[in-house]
Structure 1
Amino acid sequence: MTRVLQDAYIVAASRTPIGRAPRGAFRHVRPDDLLVRAIHAALAQVPGLDPARIEDAIIGCAIPEGPQGLNVARIGVLLAGLPKTVGGATINRFCASGLAAITMAADRIRVGEADVIIAGGTESMSQVPMMGNAPSINPSVFQGDENIGIAYGMGLTAERVATQWKVSREDQDAFALQSHQRAIAAQQAGEFSDEIVPVQVVERSADLQSGEIRTRERNISLDEGPRIDTSLDALAKLRPVFAAGGSVTAGNSSQTSDGAGALILVSERILKEYNLTPLARFVSSAVRGVPPEIMGIGPKEAIPVALKLAGITQQDVDWIELNEAFAAQSLAVIRDLGLDPARVNPLGGAIALGHPLGATGAIRAATIVHGLRRRNLRYGMLTMCVGTGMGAAGIFERV
């Protein structure tokens, strides 16, 4: 049977605030509970949509083990109280997991296999460490130089990109400062209010003298990462942490974080049936590989492909969310492709806002689709580098 391709539309996009890991507000909040909060908020944006029409949930998670293992997508669906008929699949493309989930959901709708799918991501870097609890690298990686880059830490790949693309320490620190300044300004202007759902956190502590359990409730409504007190002087005092004599520091790298995001994608038939106004149309996506030892440069290979598939040029893109894994790789990509710095991360990026790995794609997609609508812009692009040497990019259009 021949299927006619159809468009996939985003009708809702929500995310939790991003918490600092490992000692931030969400350190004791399970990642499946964060996902539930994001799903509920997304559903609240389309109150007329019958939850029974949702066919699947595709959720990204970069380290799917521990409290975010056991197919966290399906568990999140059930805990959210959705009908038992809604499926769930957890996928992993490291930092691009959230974007991959959106792409997979859009593709199923575009080929006519589904009409309503939840796509998103969740990650707790407080509860599951960067490499997982029991990392195991194939010993063959260490036999010769061909695949040794797989074993490189992300910071070391950033150092290699900084050297090869001649990105100075001063430029990295200036980029990091700008990320914080833009994020603080965005928070103060309420730029994230359309996408963020507050999360109530209950903290308990024991009073050893009285034997009482004290309870404290907090409503977290802002990302914890942006620092209003940072400066070039403060950033310059930080020591390199990945290589002796290097230039990559904790201050010009993304923050380890906790968070979740969820989007609802539908077909045109659902738009008409429920009289929904879409936030955006999913246009195209691309993934390309690069040598693992220069992992951070991946977006420069994926972006041109995604643009070609979309039938637009780089100049047509009004808003670019380039995930700031490191200032070094962000600047290398910006300079190599000639991206307009004013259009890249206008509300700050992961250096300030945080990077909860598998959730970041969904979180930043929510930022794009709400931002395009708020500012009456047409095209937005989400792109990121990906562990083991990949780059991913996705393009959205306000309609």
Structure 2
Amino acid sequence: MSKQTQDAYIVAAARTPVGKAPRGMFKNVRPDDMLVHVLQAVMQQCEGLDPAAIDDVIAGCAMPEAEQGINVARVALLLAGLPDNVPGMTINRFCASGLQAVALAADRIRLGEADVIIAAGTESMSMIPMMGNKVAMNPAMFIKDENVAIAYGMGITAEKVAQQWKVGREQQDEFAMTSHQRALKAIETGEFQQEIAPYPVEEKRPDLTSHEVKVIKSVKDTDEGPRADTNLEALAKLKSVFAANGSVTAGNSSQMSDGAGAVMVMSAAALQRFNLTPIGRFIGYTVAGVPPEIMGIGPIKAIPKVLKQVGLHQDDLDWIELNEAFAAQSLAVINELGLDRAKVNPLGGAIALGHPLGATGAIRVATLLHGLRRHHQRYGMVTMCVGSGMGAAGVFEAL
């Protein structure tokens, strides 16, 4: 028996500032604690909400093991003080995990199966290596040539995209510099203040003079990645990392990062019950597959697919958060689809702001919705390429 769908609304969206990995401001902060922090932040934004009414907490995580293992969603919600009747689920779609969590929450609400769900994401790239603590690839990947690309490092795929879409080194470096410039301007003008939930950090350091351990307390409220000293000359001096005579460098790639984000999703009935005002509406989401060896082009397939699904045109979008995994793939997507550069990452992207893998989708939803509202714009999109050859795209309306 089919069910009539209903709208899914976003009532609150918050994130931590993003720290640089592996030696940045969150190097000793556990990812489950970061998740606790953003869960509490969105709860605080929903005054009057009965915590027992939350139907689920869905958290994305790209490397769900060690400090972010054992179902980090359930662990974090309990540590956050939510009642034990609230269940939790951790999901993994690599870089799209946080956005996928939002989509899953919205789908359950649109089907009438839930009224209140927190969707989130968390990742510590300081504590959990890029491919996890134990890399154990299936040997079958290396038996047939068509499967070898599954094992490619992301940088190799970026080099292949740069070659196939003819994206040169100078273009990539210019794109990277623009990312930093936009991010620095956004920080200077307070663009991120609404979405960031300042994070208190305690560091313990030995004092060799007094023979005591001193506790140094600070509050982190600013993204750590953007660099004021970035310029084209400095970027041009960096050597290619992934291929001899290549064009992809550390300077035109996304930064390894630590961070978390959360979004409160509700039905219209829940809004009325708890007397809450939405900041946005979930419109649609899709995922598309592409060849693993050119995984960075995923959004080229996902963006038209989701726009057709929701009945919008590319020109209807006022703001596009395109995750800058690499400048090469970002430019390939922009050029292939003819995206308006002014609408893509107006506050900078992952090259400057960082990319904490499974948390990025939820973080960028927070940036998008607060930004749309602040600038009196209507429609926006969060989109990214995904490891092993996928692209994801979600469309939102600011209210």
- For the superposition of Structure 1 and Structure 2, which TM-score range results when normalised by the shorter chain? over 0.9
How far did 1:23 drift?
0.2
Number of equivalences: 399
> 1:190 is paired with a residue of what secondary structure?
coil
For residues 2-34 of structure 1, the C-alpha deviation after alignment (integer angstroms, 9 at most, x for no partner) is 421001000000000000000001000000100
Aligned counterparts of 1:144 and 1:117: Cα–Cα separation in 2: 43
Match of 1:285 in 2: 285
> 1:383 is paired with a residue of what secondary structure?
strand
> 2:300 is paired with a residue of what secondary structure?
helix
For residues 180-220 of structure 1, the C-alpha deviation after alignment (integer angstroms, 9 at most, x for no partner) is 00000000010001100110110111234542112211110
Match of 1:217 in 2: 217
Read off the aligned partner of 1:175 and give its amino acid letter.
F
Identity fraction in percent: 66
Superposition pairs for residues 292-307 of structure 1, below 5 Å? 292-307=292-307
Aligned counterparts of 2:41 and 2:209: Cα–Cα separation in 1: 41
Does 1:229 pair with 2:221?
no
Read off the aligned partner of 2:152 and give its amino acid letter.
Y
Match of 1:17 in 2: 17
Match of 2:368 in 1: 368
Aligned counterparts of 1:17 and 1:278: Cα–Cα separation in 2: 23
Aligned counterparts of 1:47 and 1:203: Cα–Cα separation in 2: 32
Aligned counterparts of 1:86 and 1:300: Cα–Cα separation in 2: 38
Aligned counterparts of 2:109 and 2:11: Cα–Cα separation in 1: 13
Aligned counterparts of 2:274 and 2:116: Cα–Cα separation in 1: 12
Match of 1:268 in 2: 268
Aligned counterparts of 2:395 and 2:139: Cα–Cα separation in 1: 38
Aligned counterparts of 2:332 and 2:78: Cα–Cα separation in 1: 43
Read off the aligned partner of 1:165 and give its amino acid letter.
W
Superposition pairs for residues 136-155 of structure 1, below 5 Å? 136-155=136-155
Aligned counterparts of 2:133 and 2:381: Cα–Cα separation in 1: 33
Does 1:47 pair with 2:47?
yes
> 2:318 is paired with a residue of what secondary structure?
strand
Does 1:379 pair with 2:393?
no
How far did 1:135 drift?
1.0
Aligned counterparts of 1:145 and 1:126: Cα–Cα separation in 2: 33
Does 1:160 pair with 2:160?
yes
> 2:370 is paired with a residue of what secondary structure?
helix
Match of 2:199 in 1: 199
Does 1:238 pair with 2:238?
yes
> 1:250 is paired with a residue of what secondary structure?
coil
For residues 321-345 of structure 1, the C-alpha deviation after alignment (integer angstroms, 9 at most, x for no partner) is 0000000000000000000000000
Aligned counterparts of 2:162 and 2:317: Cα–Cα separation in 1: 26
How far did 1:42 drift?
0.8
Aligned counterparts of 1:103 and 1:215: Cα–Cα separation in 2: 41
For residues 272-296 of structure 1, the C-alpha deviation after alignment (integer angstroms, 9 at most, x for no partner) is 2222211111000110000000010
For residues 80-99 of structure 1, the C-alpha deviation after alignment (integer angstroms, 9 at most, x for no partner) is 00011111000000000001
Read off the aligned partner of 1:311 and give its amino acid letter.
G
How far did 1:49 drift?
1.2
Match of 2:38 in 1: 38
Please tell me the root mean square deviation across aligned C-alpha atoms, in Å: 0.8
> 1:259 is paired with a residue of what secondary structure?
strand
> 2:261 is paired with a residue of what secondary structure?
strand
Read off the aligned partner of 2:183 and give its amino acid letter.
A
> What 5-or-longer segments of structure 2 have no aligned partner?
none
Does 1:320 pair with 2:320?
yes
TM-score (norm 1): 0.99
For residues 316-373 of structure 1, the C-alpha deviation after alignment (integer angstroms, 9 at most, x for no partner) is 0000000000000000000000000000000000000000000000000000111111
Aligned counterparts of 1:32 and 1:237: Cα–Cα separation in 2: 38
Match of 2:70 in 1: 70
Superposition pairs for residues 173-184 of structure 1, below 5 Å? 173-184=173-184
Aligned counterparts of 1:76 and 1:351: Cα–Cα separation in 2: 29
Aligned counterparts of 2:128 and 2:51: Cα–Cα separation in 1: 31
Match of 2:388 in 1: 388
- Which moves more between the two structures, 364-373 or 269-278? 269-278
Superposition pairs for residues 306-345 of structure 1, below 5 Å? 306-345=306-345
Aligned counterparts of 1:388 and 1:181: Cα–Cα separation in 2: 31
Match of 1:350 in 2: 350
Aligned counterparts of 2:28 and 2:278: Cα–Cα separation in 1: 35
> 2:145 is paired with a residue of what secondary structure?
coil
Match of 1:129 in 2: 129
> 1:17 is paired with a residue of what secondary structure?
coil
Aligned counterparts of 2:330 and 2:3: Cα–Cα separation in 1: 39
Aligned counterparts of 2:17 and 2:398: Cα–Cα separation in 1: 24
Aligned counterparts of 1:45 and 1:219: Cα–Cα separation in 2: 20
Aligned counterparts of 2:78 and 2:310: Cα–Cα separation in 1: 36
Aligned counterparts of 1:143 and 1:105: Cα–Cα separation in 2: 39
> 1:193 is paired with a residue of what secondary structure?
coil
> 1:298 is paired with a residue of what secondary structure?
helix
Aligned counterparts of 1:389 and 1:81: Cα–Cα separation in 2: 38
Aligned counterparts of 2:76 and 2:118: Cα–Cα separation in 1: 11
